[in-house]
Chains A and B, each alone.
Chain A
Amino acid sequence: QVQLIQSGAEVKKPGASVKVSCKASGYSFIGFYMHWVRQAPGQGLEWMGWINPKTGDTDYAQKFQGRVNMTRDTSISTAYMELTSLHSDDTAVYYCAKDGGGDYVGGNWGQGTLVTVSS
């Protein structure tokens, strides 16, 4: 079965960077885009961008352009999301989510990684 296992919680200071990993199993990692979505405490879901694991091509939401970098390591079926210049309102749970391809949106999400930004 499809599994997306994310790295553990992080605590960072303002101005620092964080890199979250998402290890995929149970399907062809290079066959499906991987999305990243975040959710601030008590708030809604916010799409950050996606990566094509086959090519490494990325597309980011305008809000995060210049501050986010999505990469992958196909040898270990793992996607990464790095966010730089952190500030307090980046405190959120960060999720990876597998695209479904075609008509299907995809129903597989990681368990989430809490990133806390605090001085």
Chain B
Amino acid sequence: DIQMTQSPSALSASVGDRVTITCRASQSISSWLAWYQQKPGKAPKLLIYKASSLESGVPSRFSGSGSGTEFTLTINSLQPDDSATYYCQQYSRYWAFGQGTRVELK
């Protein structure tokens, strides 16, 4: 099974900051990597697919990069509405999720 590891598990940042979350796969997944945002009591919301493709309707301050085993989600100019938990997901072979990164605003 492919294991996904995210870091950090939590972070605190200020409005306007640039935030970076890293995701590592236990084996190469090419670019079959997605990022989700989840708020309490809600289903996950897709932000990025195929490592760097922005889902329709998602603000352009969200971006993704990477391939193989190392991936990054960047939020440029953090906004109050971005306070949430973020998950990476591989869909190269079945699905598997990272453990999540909680983003809080200072």
A residues in contact (CB < 8 Å) with B: 35, 37, 44-47, 50, 59, 61-62, 95, 100, 103-107, 109-112
Contact = CB atoms under 8 A, between A and B. Distances in A.
B98 A47 contact: no
B55 interface: yes
A44 B94 contact: no
Contact of A37 (B34, B49, B95, B98): B95
A59 B38 CA distance: 26
Contacts of A105: 32, 34, 46, 49-50, 89, 91
B71 interface: no
Nearest to B38: A45
Q: Is the interface of A mostly helix, strand, loop or mixed?
A: loop
A47 B94 contact: yes
Contacts of A95: 43-44
Contact of B1 (A35, A62, A110, A111): A62
B99 interface: yes
Interface of B: 1, 32, 34, 36, 38, 43-46, 49-50, 53, 55, 87, 89, 91, 94-100
B34 A47 contact: no
Contact of B87 (A45, A50, A107): A45
Contacts of A107: 45-46, 49, 55
Q: Which 8 A-B pairs have the closest CB atoms?
A: A107-B46, A109-B43, A47-B95, A45-B97, A105-B34, A105-B49, A44-B100, A44-B99
A37 B36 CA distance: 14
Nearest to A61: B94
A105 B50 CA distance: 8
The CB with the most chain A CB atoms within 10 A, among B44, B49, B95, B98, is that of B95
A101 to B, nearest CB: 11
A44 B34 contact: no
Contacts of B96: 47
B100 to A, nearest CB: 5
20 contacts: A44-B98, A44-B99, A45-B36, A45-B38, A45-B97, A46-B97, A47-B97, A50-B94, A59-B94, A62-B1, A103-B50, A105-B34, A105-B46, A105-B50, A107-B45, A107-B49, A107-B55, A109-B43, A111-B43, A112-B43
